[in-house]
Chains A and B, each alone.
Chain A
Amino acid sequence: MATKQAQPGQIEITSLPVPQLQELKQQLDRELEHLTTSFQSLRTAQSKFSDCMKSIAQGVDPSTAGKPLLVPLTSSLYVPGRLTSSTHVLLDIGTGFFVEKSTGDATDFYKRKVKDLGDSLKDLEQVVNQKANNVRMVEEVIRVKVLSAQESSQKEGRGS
Chain B
Amino acid sequence: MSEVQKKLQALSDGYQKLQGELSTAVEARQKLESQQQENSTVKKEFDLLDDEANIYKQIGPVLLKQDKTEAVMAVNGRLEYIEKEIKRIEGQIKDTQEKSETLKMEIIQMQSAAQQQQEAAAA
Contacts and interface: CB of A to CB of B under 8 A. Distances in A.
Interface stretch (A7-15, A62-70, A97-105): A97-105
B75 interface: yes
Contacts of A100: 53-56
B22 to A, nearest CB: 16
Interface string B41-66: 11001000100011111110001000
B39 to A, nearest CB: 6
Contacts of B63: 90, 98
Nearest to B37: A94
Nearest to A88: B54
A98 B56 contact: yes
Contacts of A95: 38-39, 42, 75, 78
A39 interface: no
B4 to A, nearest CB: 27
Contact of A90 (B42, B56, B71, B75): B56
A93 B54 contact: no
A109 B59 CA distance: 23
A157 interface: no
A96 interface: yes
Contacts of B42: 93-95, 97
Contacts of A94: 38-39, 41-42, 45
A90 B65 CA distance: 12
B53 A98 contact: no
A44 to B, nearest CB: 16
Contacts of A93: 41-42, 45
Contacts of A90: 56, 63
A58 to B, nearest CB: 24
Contacts of B58: 96-98
B57 A99 contact: no
Interface in A93-136: 93-101, 109
Contacts of B59: 96
Interface in A78-100: 90, 93-100
What are the nearest 3 A-B pairs in CB distance?
A100-B54, A96-B58, A98-B56
Interface of B: 38-39, 41-42, 45, 49, 53-59, 63, 71, 75, 78
Given A94-B41, A96-B59, A99-B56, 7 more contacts: A94-B45, A95-B75, A97-B42, A97-B75, A98-B55, A98-B57, A100-B54
